[in-house]
Structure 1
């Protein structure tokens, strides 16, 4: 296991969109870590899925946390009769259209009692995450559909799920988990300009301050310049800050080191796991 002083190379946090555009891009936060401090070096915006895949294929090493699910609930997969090996399941899933996914999952939910409509992965409860079969608010099922096939096409390494280029390590992240640890139920972002309130701006400032002071269970401190801090505060959508939250998760995973990067030994290799959701 690496010590905080030995975290290697480039770290990445990705705030993902399944339909990226100039208005709602994919945001990639890049940084490095040393002695328990995570230094933000850049924020890059990608306005298409092709640009995302090209980014993944670059010849450089990194450890990254990506804000989209890497797997589906075993209960769902079993009931639908889909493949129960991860790679075969992802190939099957990639071959479906978004309307087919929506209709299949809606039919699944319609046959279940109120309060138990969605199937959940084991990681959802400790992370507080939405079920990966959810197709709206947020459309994480479509995010999986857009994201995982591109990770596979780029040949990256997905610990516990699929071997690939060990220089490029992709882990599933979830910024909402760290944000709730600091803010509780306070909201810090909105894509709706009418809801981009002073209260949410204050929440973003409080969240950044907590990250700078190392006030999360990760035990890592964020280091940003004044200009970077202002940029994170000013992005009322929260996309830039979400990418940085994922960067913090990537730094923690890198600190744990290969081969598991902090993923639990008993992780379900069909469902996947959100890194840092059980420490």
Structure 2
């Protein structure tokens, strides 16, 4: 990479990484509208991933984990509404304390409205960041955001840091649904790793490589893969590697917005306590 052009990162995050379910980091770059996937890295520990984040570098990354909690939740719990103070308080809690606290919040609310939502959840179609099961995004926030803060990266609209390393909240499901609609393309359950999901991964990759996904089409971007990379992404029935690539493409869109003169990587004005999902 030249000094002026950052590397692009896309991260499929796990709050409890392991050999079976590692954190996946897609690394690539942008060349004349083509988003080149250069390599996939995996991390079996949070510490190992934190060390990678802390390394000197020049990148813009999309990370599949929430960067904030709903304002309604924070205010009702009486926590500080300054983002950094709130996140430091949250990081100091145990997972058991988080679960107990959030369960009590939900228990006091009516059926159909148990969870509080961030403003970004509706346009993104994402799970509420206070949800601790299926998927446990509350634990992803708890495990992942402190690593970004410790690494000293910049989180636009939330926290200043090293301007050469820029982290954005991404959500691969948003880009995938724009192509596939309600079709599922992945599952961690082997019994659900069906031929239909395999076909969906192939269809999704075809749209990404052709640049016909609406987000890519609007920005004049398309994904460039080798044959081996294509086959690897199709073969991963869990979808983790493909999700990392989807986050990479969202980071590419954000960088293209910044290059085009849109401040803050295409993020709109948003609540500085809650955060916002890029491209939503």
TM-score range, shorter chain: over 0.9
In the alignment, what sits opposite 2:278?
Answer: 275
- Which residues of structure 2 form unaligned runs of 5+? none
User: Pick from 58, 68, 76: which aligns with 1:79?
Assistant: 76
Q: TM-score, normalised by structure 2?
A: 0.95
With over 3 angstroms needed to count, the CA separation of the structure-2 counterparts of 1:250 and 1:76, relative to structure 1, is same
Equivalenced residues, count: 271
User: Pick from 262, 265, 270: which aligns with 1:261?
Assistant: 265
In the alignment, what sits opposite 1:66?
Answer: 63
Shift of 1:36: 1.7
Does residue 126 of structure 2 align to residue 123 of structure 1? Answer: no
Superimposed CA distance per residue, residues 187-227 of structure 1 (whole angstroms, 9 cap, x where no aligned partner): 10011111111110000000000101112232221000000
**1-side partners of 2:70 and 2:102: how far apart?**
12
In the alignment, what sits opposite 2:243?
Answer: 242
- Which residues of structure 1 form unaligned runs of 5+? 1-6
Shift of 1:8: 2.0
With 46-55 and 30-39 compared, the bigger mean Cα shift is at: 30-39
How much is the aligned-residue C-alpha RMSD, in angstroms?
1.2
**1-side partners of 2:112 and 2:34: how far apart?**
42
Judging by fraction of residues, say which structure has more helix.
2
Shift of 1:96: 0.3
Whether contact under 8 Å (1:159, 1:259) holds in the other structure is: no
Q: Secondary structure at the match of 1:260?
A: helix
Q: Secondary structure at the match of 1:138?
A: coil
Shift of 1:68: 0.1
**2-side partners of 1:28 and 1:134: how far apart?**
24
In the alignment, what sits opposite 2:151?
Answer: 154
**2-side partners of 1:79 and 1:140: how far apart?**
20
Does residue 175 of structure 2 align to residue 175 of structure 1? Answer: no
In the alignment, what sits opposite 1:228?
Answer: 229
Whether contact under 8 Å (1:8, 1:254) holds in the other structure is: no
